[in-house]
Structure 1
């Protein structure tokens, strides 16, 4: 895992593997301290060259070719490869090796968690299990035999279908599994241990009966019902929406307490972080339930978009991840909208769209502007684990969504059908996907294609679209001009980088009159009028002229976030307030409020920096009041519309980020709105009480969201009686959503004694539930009063372990990423703490360490008194002997490439 000189791997250097591994037989004699693995590979030569197999932290015992033992002189072995030369056109290779799961703290390959064997092979973990060509374009049929002590490991699971099981001497037993489909080794999985499970049977649309199972720790089976129901919904939805049927006799999900990722889509045996499986109303929030459904959908949908058709190489990662994120977003939106009337369903879909865009702007937009910026299909990497990014996933999803927008949903379905017709069972590229979509697009748009659109795959950065509006009163026309630019980012800033070209940007627009009424849009070249129009910007600059526009309108721009771009238009505050009150496009209405709030908070930040007083503008307060009180909006949408932009999103609007001044200004704005609208917030808490019987449905969840947001405003504003209200809600809550919301307000805005008492009570109630204890750590890590010393004290708490990724994320990551007051202290103590934790994690789990290392990758954007301390901390990490490739790549680019 470690090297002093990381090697850069380039997409342009791809070469096919010279052998077809037709079949793989694996035998595991499972022992936590030392597991024996025997592999039998059936090979056919495709091109000249030696057989080069990857391996890491393995003990090689023997190599046999066509039944003959090969001595050490007949192969070459180093720390990372096993090379066999002189093979015939066909060969049977048998390899015996040992690995040490119990000592594997990286959680890649085969490891032990809570007494259970798990695997994680994506991206390059299979090489830690046995010697093999660890690359996604080598697809094989797998048969797996698992042997272990029956009492300690009664469940033996692997990919595909169970074909045999038997008892063995000495209290051991064996299970044999066969996966009928070819797959790359990154989709291999095994689980062995003492587990409980919940299951159901269902019939697919073709009439086959399939078994669905969710496995977890003994005693947690009562928390897997929602996960199983989510899996059932995902199976049905994929059949109905895209005609894709479950292709195995069974589909299994297993919850792991120690897991680097959210989940993994191994063929037929999905391994999940327990946080995305276990839930009940007493221990999980509405957000937890929503995330479980989304992640279970995501991993199931990979069965086709990632498993049946996979990536040729890791540069094509967004081929499966961007596409599958889009699919899980659509699934969640459909699940939220089901069984609702048309208006409520539309609102639920908008809420989902808002949540996705908030995530994109908070995580991906900053990444797109930083030293690690890369296209959704990168051209190079040093460590592939560093490219499981918001760009590949969330921006990748937006690129897929734009294709659906351009093709229409029906056209997109035809394109996806064509993609599977061409490539089922293959390892392919992003270009292959766009080729399938383009084959449909050109049928519906003769003479046009997607050649300009393909630049989304090859160019990094977030385009900015400047909008100009020219109204001609005499002719009653309105001309809209769109002009795009995208500055070089990341490695594009280095000498020799190619000049960036215009993107293909679908840009949805509407026009409102001075009273907020939508205007019918008609282009000069068309007879049809519409309330909303999709403009396609494919050049640097383009214009469109609308007729019969009597007065200068107010534009409603980038409706439904039709492209992942930043819009530059010089709105007045009055225009934003009008859009916030009246825009019929619910997403654009939310966006207007976010822009108005952003202006307000940034003005408050400047005032704090200059030591000047600041008060809220009356127009802003009244716009907020209108959304809170106007009839016709559902609670979930109001909660999103009235939530202030996060510090991360706001920081993107600052030339030099002053995190403490910004956090204080946002806090001050929150409190001022709490006081100014106190009566309305109180009314909202009363009007949005939910029944005692908990349900995570969107209507109930929306009411809880608005009620708890109102409580936060009241507490932030120190409104009389608010603390008593929060304490009463905490004590009387019948679900974790309300309890956590009340506790959060006490911790962040309440009196210290009340916060301490509530935190103590919370831990005493939930100390035996690891996922709830994670919440307890997170609340304290992000509290405004928390310091480095507070976090260091929590790290010695008996419940904390740096070896557990969930626990590290809940405390260390949350403090460094989401506590601007405590982390960005002027004395640099937060940055020194960060360096210590990156290095401590790097010794245990480089993949997790690299994610923490990203915290400071945009250090140059901060005010000088902070940026220099950040640079020193980065340099400290970079100079550490034996640093992993994962962390080396992050800190080196942060120091060498100016953001």
Structure 2
């Protein structure tokens, strides 16, 4: 028997919500990983607050695969064990559910590591099996190998009733990637070699998927942290005849603060300096590097000829990249990242209030962080709000965050 319940949070003017009609596409997986239902997937209609659906003639207790094909735009909450998630990662015929099982498992593993646990061996084994499954599309495997982001983990910590510590989350996230790179090392090395795309560059889906998987394998290998892995990234950078292969290698070197990073940055800029969108990526790669002196490096880049603070794309790439894409350094414990960002918002506001207001959204989740960081962010928000001549756009956004 499968029990489904639904609830819709109240909205202004509607404190009580009627039940919706929700189509739930369901598959039931047997012990061998195959679908037990004759039709593979069955669509159940949830029309009330709760309903029970029975399935007869099953050979054993199945593992359900719910909302196949994203059959309804809802948020699914279900209790699953690690073993069930690993099973779905290995066997679910629905790609989204297979990915979602791995994502939810990885988030839980990361949060356990945040609390001091060791990397989960079963998760690493399941991830290795998925990475090496040649029946799966390379593009899908690339997505499945992506580990949870630090902002996602911070939101999940808060959703589970605690305040987020960005430094601790960064350490756990880094340890998670390092463990994955080490455990999957042989598979990742094989993929990095096998997924190389011969011949001239093509943007078609098949070679793009191969490149994506190769780049994901490289990122995890570099996270493993050996000199040989950094040399592998440098070799990919040097050999690349297109930006789609060269930039991920550059980002891996820069984020690892590798000895080869400075030369690679210079070579990349020299090659792509006449392509503004690629130069934006060059700026962002540096702004998002989780190095100790990240804010100082970003400050130095504001004097680079490639940076024009009045160009919204350049401002987003560098200043926005630091605030929105480098959580461990933006949330530096001394508040220097917040002050640096607020300085630039106040500088930009008189000239471009629309971009300033949008960029200020980097402060939007400030209440999910620990009390010390909340105090530091509030001080910067109040400084912005009290600035003489502040634009209405920015004042509205900042006032809403303070309110």
8 Å Cα contact 2:89/2:98 also seen in 1: yes
Residues in 2 aligned to 1:832 and 1:885: alpha-carbon distance in whole angstroms: 21
Whether 2:392 is the aligned partner of 1:856: answer no
Aligned pairs for 1:383-422 (under 5 A) are none
Select the residue among 155, 178, 183 that pairs with 1:652: 155
Q: 1:871: how far off?
A: 1.5
Q: 1:841: how far off?
A: 2.2
8 Å Cα contact 2:155/2:368 also seen in 1: no
Select the residue among 11, 14, 21 that pairs with 1:498: 14
Whether 2:238 is the aligned partner of 1:731: answer yes
Q: 1:488: how far off?
A: 5.0
- Report the structure number with the largest CA radius of gyration: 1
8 Å Cα contact 1:670/1:713 also seen in 2: yes
Q: 1:503: how far off?
A: 4.2
8 Å Cα contact 1:675/1:719 also seen in 2: no
Residue 254 of structure 2 corresponds to 747
Aligned length: 397
Whether 2:334 is the aligned partner of 1:831: answer no
TM-score by length of 2: 0.93
Residue 242 of structure 1 corresponds to none
8 Å Cα contact 2:269/2:282 also seen in 1: yes
> Which stretch shifts more, 677-686 or 831-840?
831-840
Residues in 2 aligned to 1:780 and 1:830: alpha-carbon distance in whole angstroms: 15
Structure 1 runs, 4 residues or longer, greater than 6 Å off: none
Whether 2:326 is the aligned partner of 1:809: answer no
8 Å Cα contact 1:723/1:750 also seen in 2: no
Q: Evaluate the alpha carbon distance shift between residue 704 and residue 550 of structure 1 in structure 2; reply closer, same or farther with a 3 A threshold.
A: same
Whether 2:288 is the aligned partner of 1:782: answer yes
Q: 1:750: how far off?
A: 4.7
8 Å Cα contact 1:674/1:719 also seen in 2: no
Q: Evaluate the alpha carbon distance shift between residue 840 and residue 485 of structure 1 in structure 2; reply closer, same or farther with a 3 A threshold.
A: farther
- Deviation string, structure 1 residues 462-489 (Cα, Å, up to 9, x no partner): xxxxxxxxxxxxxxxx2x2222234457
Residues in 2 aligned to 1:833 and 1:553: alpha-carbon distance in whole angstroms: 54
Q: Evaluate the alpha carbon distance shift between residue 537 and residue 886 of structure 1 in structure 2; reply closer, same or farther with a 3 A threshold.
A: farther
Q: 1:880: how far off?
A: 2.0
For the residue of structure 1 that corresponds to 2:76, the secondary structure is strand
RMSD of aligned residue pairs (Cα, Å): 1.8
Q: Evaluate the alpha carbon distance shift between residue 662 and residue 544 of structure 1 in structure 2; reply closer, same or farther with a 3 A threshold.
A: same
Residue 622 of structure 1 corresponds to 125
Q: 1:864: how far off?
A: 1.0
8 Å Cα contact 1:832/1:873 also seen in 2: yes
Select the residue among 760, 764, 767 that pairs with 2:266: 760
Whether 2:53 is the aligned partner of 1:531: answer no
Whether 2:153 is the aligned partner of 1:631: answer no
Select the residue among 43, 58, 66 that pairs with 1:549: 58
Aligned pairs for 1:52-91 (under 5 A) are none
Select the residue among 586, 590, 602 that pairs with 2:95: 586
Q: 1:800: how far off?
A: 1.1
TM-score by length of 1: 0.43
Residue 883 of structure 1 corresponds to 390
Residue 70 of structure 2 corresponds to 561
Residue 78 of structure 1 corresponds to none
8 Å Cα contact 1:628/1:642 also seen in 2: yes
Residue 510 of structure 1 corresponds to 27
- Deviation string, structure 1 residues 229-274 (Cα, Å, up to 9, x no partner): xxxxxxxxxxxxxxxxxxxxxxxxxxxxxxxxxxxxxxxxxxxxxx
Residues in 1 aligned to 2:20 and 2:320: alpha-carbon distance in whole angstroms: 35
Residue 484 of structure 1 corresponds to 6
Please list every run of 5 or more consecutive structure 2 residues that lacks an aligned counterpart in the other structure: none
Q: Evaluate the alpha carbon distance shift between residue 563 and residue 853 of structure 1 in structure 2; reply closer, same or farther with a 3 A threshold.
A: farther
Q: Evaluate the alpha carbon distance shift between residue 538 and residue 644 of structure 1 in structure 2; reply closer, same or farther with a 3 A threshold.
A: same
8 Å Cα contact 1:704/1:738 also seen in 2: yes
Whether 2:229 is the aligned partner of 1:722: answer yes
- Deviation string, structure 1 residues 121-153 (Cα, Å, up to 9, x no partner): xxxxxxxxxxxxxxxxxxxxxxxxxxxxxxxxx
